A and B are shown apart, each in its own frame.
Chain A
Amino acid sequence: MKKIMIVDDSATSRMFVKRCLQTLLVDQDETEYREAENGKEALARLKESPADLALIDLNMPLMDGATLLRWMKASPKLTLIPVVVITSVDSPANREELMQLGASHVLSKPVAPAKLKPVIDEIFDLPSDDGFGF
């Protein structure tokens, strides 16, 4: 079973990301979706039980996404979890900074299945053509 953590202070954004993942992973084994509203909550929950993938926003209260990413990459228990940053603050320069911090991919909001599909295929080593036509 895949465990996926979605971190965003916006319930709307978490809902969009989860919908996309459910569309893309419909043929896969059961997937457990976990949600957190900020980096601090996500970090605590990931330390309790690591995930197979984390999709995180940048602008969040209490602990932002860049700080969460730094903590994860500094933690031996969490450093191997692929982190996809999904943000509205997406420019080439911002993207380069995040990749240097250890993000595996950076996507701009609003996320859509077509945008997320190649990333999910790569991370979970899925066949690239699964009939969705994205």
Chain B
Amino acid sequence: MNVEQLLTDAVSETIETMAFLEVNKADSITPYDEHLVRLRVEILVNAPFPGEMRLVLPKSLAGLFAQNMYSLEEQDVTEEIVEDVLGEIINIIAGRLIADILPDDQTFQLGLPLIGPDAFLETEASSHAIEFSIENIPFWVVLFGDGFQSAA
């Protein structure tokens, strides 16, 4: 199975179902813009393999998710709502991806989402970053650890 395609499906279906926004996958990674205020939310895969999934996105896009999901005006979106929305999105994307790559008889466990500001988009040897966009705003999902690929 192609992990990148499974991840694309998981990201698209989750965001389209929850936030009613169309997701497009990019063919390359946009150069890092250090002036762009970004957030990152990450979740650990605890079993059956150690791994991590990280969602990195502009703060403005995170706000748009929250606006759409809660039917709020921009000025009514709080930091607390944005953090909760991002935590739920990464939780669902990670669960969907891992369920898709593991055999049916394999159980799995996820940690709790952690949210914070993003300093830079890490590109370690064991990581795999994929860029997506919504309304021409890019965002990224990064998979850490070999488990995603080897399980698939």
What residues of chain A have their CB less than 8 Å away from a CB belonging to chain B? 9-13, 15-16, 59, 61, 87-94, 97, 108-110, 112
Contacts and interface: CB of A to CB of B under 8 A. Distances in A.
B14 interface: yes
B88 A13 contact: yes
A9 B91 CA distance: 12
Interface residues of B, number: 27
Contacts of A109: 88, 91-92, 95
A10 B84 contact: yes
Contacts of B70: 12, 15
Nearest to A88: B95
Contact of B108 (A61, A89, A110): A89
A59 B44 CA distance: 12
B2 to A, nearest CB: 19
A91 B69 contact: no
Given A10-B84, A109-B92, A110-B92, A89 B18 contact: no
A109 B93 CA distance: 9
A26 B112 CA distance: 33
B91 A88 contact: yes
Given A91-B108, A94-B107, A108-B96, A11 B84 contact: yes
Contacts of B84: 10-12
Given A90-B99, A91-B106, 10 more contacts: A12-B81, A12-B84, A59-B91, A59-B111, A59-B112, A88-B92, A92-B104, A93-B104, A108-B95, A108-B99
B61 interface: no
B58 to A, nearest CB: 19
A89 B44 CA distance: 13
Contacts of B92: 88, 109-110
B55 interface: no
Given A10-B87, A13-B88, A59-B112, A89 B95 contact: yes
B105 A93 contact: yes
5 contacts: A59-B91, A91-B98, A92-B105, A93-B104, A97-B107
Nearest to A94: B107
Interface in B78-121: 81, 84-85, 87-88, 91-92, 94-96, 98-99, 102, 104-112
